[in-house]
């Protein structure tokens, strides 16, 4: 494809992360250096701002401002859960035409890749020159093709630290503790709790993920077994766990349910799943005296200071590379990460571009080599995870 001269637009979509502004700044800094890109428009609230022409100009931001922005959690441009249909996209094109926008960068998850894909298809239909690049971002780590997703490493660090602290808390004041962690369809984030284990009796002792169905009877047996053996039990549970029929446990727990614009059931922002699990346990095992449940909720994705260095760097890199693919390569697609070394000490990555259709609306669940049996995450997962999270504090113990 030929190089296009024109303005660029950047949007952020879906749930914020602690490093999503790194990607934004990666795009801005790279685009500032390109002759073929004129103005750099930031769209307020993703496609919503694109449709309404609600832009802020970013091409003149200086290095210091950008650096401060990159280190600020959450989506500085605002975000959206809107998923454009054809009419919506036509309105966006009107705005693009009017503003001579020929570069479209969209930072988000698989819904955002879908949005980019639809816009890209439509641009071809109406013969409008548009480079459309999806920049991966999700704490869920559930995008297809890429080895892992920017945003995940830092959220995984939060989960690991939270469970490390909670394991010490539970060891000091024993009982059953259940922690609900984000993850609608996949257990990548919950499984990061593995990093909290430093000694043989450390929790989380059980880790339940959506990939492996969990009958309630099995949950109760598991907790009871650990409690009897260790006098305590710390449990990490994905919000999206299901029973043996694939029914969400969270769904049963909710009396009032809300759905977002994509037709998803709202799982976060409520403590009901933890409360359901506790009440089932209390009924089955009244002899266990102390039971508590926490839902980590939104703290997992935007907590200032809890940032993985590798994650922050990679989030910046995928933004920067997006501009290179759109300009030097004149390509459309989704930026993905390839791991060049399996070893922790030598961890290296490179980016590549994958077709938007290979990422759009697809979900990458944890493979069987990482999880097969309810409550258990395989050790092999740690080799995958460790370099993405980076170093964690060591906890001391009295003999």
Q: Which stretch binds its own copies (CB under 8 A): 33-41, 90-98, 236-244, 289-297?
A: 289-297
* Closer residue to its own copies in complex, CB, 187/293: 293
Contact 12, 107 (CB under 8 A): yes
Q: Which of 9, 89, 139, 306 binds its own copies (CB under 8 A)?
A: 306
Residue 229, helix vs strand vs coil: helix
Catalytic residue among 82, 121, 127, 140: 140
Residue 89, helix vs strand vs coil: helix
Query: Is residue 398 a contact point for its own copies (CB under 8 A)?
Result: yes
Active site residue 140: yes
Strands (E), 185-296: 206-208, 233-238, 291-295
Shortest Å distance, C-beta 71 to its own copies? 7
* Closer residue to its own copies in complex, CB, 279/341: 279
Shortest Å distance, C-beta 206 to its own copies? 17
Shortest Å distance, C-beta 125 to its own copies? 31
Q: Which of 102, 134, 177, 184 binds its own copies (CB under 8 A)?
A: 177
Q: Which of 7, 12, 138, 154 binds its own copies (CB under 8 A)?
A: 12
Strands (E), 137-175: none
Query: Is residue 274 a contact point for its own copies (CB under 8 A)?
Result: yes
Q: Which of 3, 39, 81, 339 binds its own copies (CB under 8 A)?
A: 81
Element (H, E) at 188: helix 188-191
Positions in 335-394 near its own copies (CB under 8 A): 392-394
Report the C-alpha gap between 273 and 15 in whole angstroms: 21
Query: Is residue 286 a contact point for its own copies (CB under 8 A)?
Result: no
DSSP character for 126?
Answer: T
350 strand-pairing partners: 338
Q: Which of 209, 272, 337, 359 binds its own copies (CB under 8 A)?
A: 272
Handedness of CA 49, 54, 56, 57 (dihedral sign): positive
Q: Which tokens belong to 339?
A: 């791991």
335 strand-pairing partners: 353
Cα of first residue to Cα of last residue in the chain, in angstroms, is 66
Residue 268's closest CA among 296, 242, 243?
296
Query: Is residue 2 a contact point for its own copies (CB under 8 A)?
Result: no
14 strand-pairing partners: none
Report the C-alpha gap between 156 and 161 in whole angstroms: 9
Beta pairing class for 37-43 and 55-57 = antiparallel
Q: Which stretch binds its own copies (CB under 8 A): 94-102, 243-251, 268-276, 369-377?
A: 268-276
Q: What are the respective helix, strand and coil percentages of the chain, to the nearest 5?
A: 40, 15, 45
Report the C-alpha gap between 196 and 314 in whole angstroms: 23
Residue 351's closest CA among 336, 365, 366, 333?
336
Q: Which of 31, 192, 233, 302 binds its own copies (CB under 8 A)?
A: 302
**What Rg value do the Cα atoms of the chain yield, rounded?**
22
Query: Is residue 15 a contact point for its own copies (CB under 8 A)?
Result: yes
Query: Is residue 291 a contact point for its own copies (CB under 8 A)?
Result: yes
132 strand-pairing partners: 104
Query: Is residue 141 a contact point for its own copies (CB under 8 A)?
Result: no
Positions in 51-80 near its own copies (CB under 8 A): 56, 58, 65, 68-69, 71-80
Q: Which stretch binds its own copies (CB under 8 A): 98-106, 201-209, 297-305, 340-348?
A: 297-305
Q: Which stretch binds its own copies (CB under 8 A): 111-119, 163-171, 186-194, 319-327?
A: 163-171
Query: Is residue 263 a contact point for its own copies (CB under 8 A)?
Result: no
Query: Is residue 168 a contact point for its own copies (CB under 8 A)?
Result: yes
Shortest Å distance, C-beta 346 to its own copies? 26
Residue 231, helix vs strand vs coil: coil
Interaction site with its own copies (CB under 8 A): 12, 15-16, 18, 42, 56, 58, 65, 68-69, 71-81, 161-162, 164-166, 168-169, 171-173, 177, 256, 258, 266, 268-272, 274-275, 278-279, 282, 291-299, 301-306, 392-399
Catalytic residue ranges: 140
């Amino acid at each position: 494809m030929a190089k296009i001269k024109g303005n660029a637009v950047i949007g952020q979509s879906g749930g914020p992360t602690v490093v999503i502004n790194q990607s934004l700044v990666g795009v801005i800094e790279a685009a500032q250096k390109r002759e073929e890109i004129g103005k750099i428009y930031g769209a307020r609230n993703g496609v919503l701002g694109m449709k309404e022409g609600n832009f802020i100009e970013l091409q003149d931001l200086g290095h210091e401002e950008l650096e401060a922005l990159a280190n600020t959690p959450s989506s500085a441009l605002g975000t959206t859960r809107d998923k454009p249909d054809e009419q919506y996209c036509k309105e966006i094109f009107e705005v693009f035409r009017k503003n001579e926008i020929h570069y479209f960068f969209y930072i988000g998850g698989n819904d955002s890749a879908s949005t980019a894909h639809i816009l890209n298809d439509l641009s071809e239909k109406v013969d409008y020159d548009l480079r459309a690049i999806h920049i991966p971002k999700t704490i869920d780590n559930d995008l297809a093709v890429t080895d892992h997703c920017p945003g995940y490493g830092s959220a995984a660090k939060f989960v690991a630290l939270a469970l490390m602290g909670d394991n010490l808390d539970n060891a000091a004041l024993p009982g059953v503790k259940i922690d609900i962690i984000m993850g609608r369809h996949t257990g990548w984030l919950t499984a990061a709790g593995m990093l909290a284990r430093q000694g043989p009796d450390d929790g989380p002792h059980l880790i339940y993920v959506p990939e492996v169905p969990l009958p309630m009877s099995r949950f109760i047996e598991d907790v009871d077994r650990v409690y009897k053996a260790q006098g305590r039990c710390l449990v990490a549970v994905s919000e999206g766990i299901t029973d043996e029929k694939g029914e969400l446990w969270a769904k049963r727990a909710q009396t009032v349910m809300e759905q977002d614009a994509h037709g998803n059931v709202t799982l976060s922002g409520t403590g009901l799943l933890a409360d359901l699990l506790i009440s089932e346990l209390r009924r089955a095992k009244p002899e266990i005296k102390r039971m508590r449940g926490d839902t980590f909720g939104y703290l997992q994705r935007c907590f200032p200071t809890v940032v993985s260095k590798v994650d922050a760097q990679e989030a910046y890199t995928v933004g920067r590379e997006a501009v290179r693919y759109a300009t030097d390569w004149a390509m459309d697609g989704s930026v993905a990460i390839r791991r060049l070394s399996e070893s922790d000490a030598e961890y290296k990555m490179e980016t590549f571009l994958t077709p938007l259709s290979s990422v759009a609306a697809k979900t990458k669940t944890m493979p069987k080599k990482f999880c097969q049996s309810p409550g258990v995450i395989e050790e092999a997962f740690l080799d995958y995870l460790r370099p993405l999270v980076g170093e964690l504090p060591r906890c001391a113990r009295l003999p």
